[in-house]
Structure 1
Amino acid sequence: MKTVSCVPFFSGPIEGSGTDFAVLIVVKVALELFSEVGWVGKADLVVELDSKVVLIWILVPAQRPWKWWPQLVEIDLSLRKIEKVRLELISRASNCLADGLAKDGLSRNSFFKAWW
């Protein structure tokens, strides 16, 4: 498999409760976008997230909150479909672009998606 040189960007309003839920939805959208653009089976995917809690929810089903179970099941299905996914925990400070897109999403009325 090759490394993806195209990078998806997205930003938009996320209704929910708290930062961890927002990170969870961002992971879900990243997996969906990877599939939408046709990269499944053609490239590996690296998802960088800045929430250790969300990473644990994804990797350890017994730690998942029930109220977000449907979103986590969708993430599970996407991970099985894509297969070659690496989840990496990074600090928010080391990913200024993601932080900027998240802040921009607070003022959006609809979702914005782009890639190159």
Structure 2
Amino acid sequence: MSGEQVKNMILLRVGWWIKGWNVQFPYSPDEISRNPQCLRWVESKAKRTLLPLDPSASIWSPPPENWLKWNVDASLHPHLMRTSIGGVLRDHNGKFICLFSSPIPFMEINTAEIFAIHKAMKICKDFNHLHGKKFIVESDSKNAVAWCKEKFGGPWNIQFILNYIRNISSPELQFEICHRGRSSNSVSDGLAKLGLSRQDDFLAWLELLEDRFCNLD
């Protein structure tokens, strides 16, 4: 399964999820798959329209060569009192390496973004084949990024997670955390939304899947 196929699968699943949620969303799952910017639609009493697009923000930017990039996101459904996170890891060629989508305890969205950053870093630490790499972790929450990069501050009840993030970098695992607009990566946004309907964690290694499919040929 290629990275493009995985992306299309995620977008279709997001479309089905929105349809099942029974909101007045004007696009079909197929339309979302063809044009992910449909997800930026908002409804108002006056009219239904797409939000203005910032061309520079809608393009995923690759990391430098020999670096890997995590794009992470969080999603919140206040009526169902559910929160979830998602992330995708790619190399400088845009090749998909890893995906995750996980439900987490119900919480405020900026705090949930910290959980998403923490999840990406913990995956890197827990899997030895990622050791020795350099990573960029991108989030669309300015607050979460600022709290993670400061020596102090942030929500008092998750200081142990913030301290983990602040102290994880080492010679074998180097991280840079940065902020970038949500529209720069629809995949992590879709994975986070899918987590709202999940009961357990989802983690997939695309490199391993590709190797298995190649071995079947």
TM-score by length of 1: 0.86
**Partners in 2 of 1:93 and 1:2 — Cα distance?**
25
Q: What's the CA shift for 1:15?
A: 0.8
The match for 1:40 is 131
The match for 2:104 is 14
The match for 1:85 is 175
Alignment CA distance shift 1:114-1:27 (3 Å): same
Alignment CA distance shift 1:81-1:72 (3 Å): farther
Secondary structure of the 1:61 match is coil
Secondary structure of the 2:119 match is helix
Cα deviation, 1:28-58, whole Å, max 9, x if unaligned, reads 11001112222122x2111111111011111
Q: Is 1:108 paired with 2:194?
A: no
Identity of aligned residues (%): 28
Alignment CA distance shift 1:94-1:75 (3 Å): same
Secondary structure of the 2:104 match is coil
Alignment CA distance shift 1:81-1:14 (3 Å): farther
Which structure has the highest helix share of the two? 1
Q: CA RMSD in A?
A: 1.9
The match for 1:24 is 114
Unaligned residue ranges in structure 1 (runs of 5+): none
Secondary structure of the 1:62 match is coil
**Max radius of gyration: which structure?**
2
Unaligned residue ranges in structure 2 (runs of 5+): 1-64, 69-90, 208-217
Which structure has the highest strand share of the two? 2
TM-score by length of 2: 0.49
**Partners in 2 of 1:82 and 1:31 — Cα distance?**
13
Q: What's the CA shift for 1:83?
A: 4.2
**AA matched with 2:162:** L
Higher relative contact order (CA 8 A, sep 6+): 1
The match for 1:95 is 185
Contact 2:149/2:166 (<8 A) preserved? no
Q: What's the CA shift for 1:88?
A: 1.9
Contact 2:67/2:136 (<8 A) preserved? no
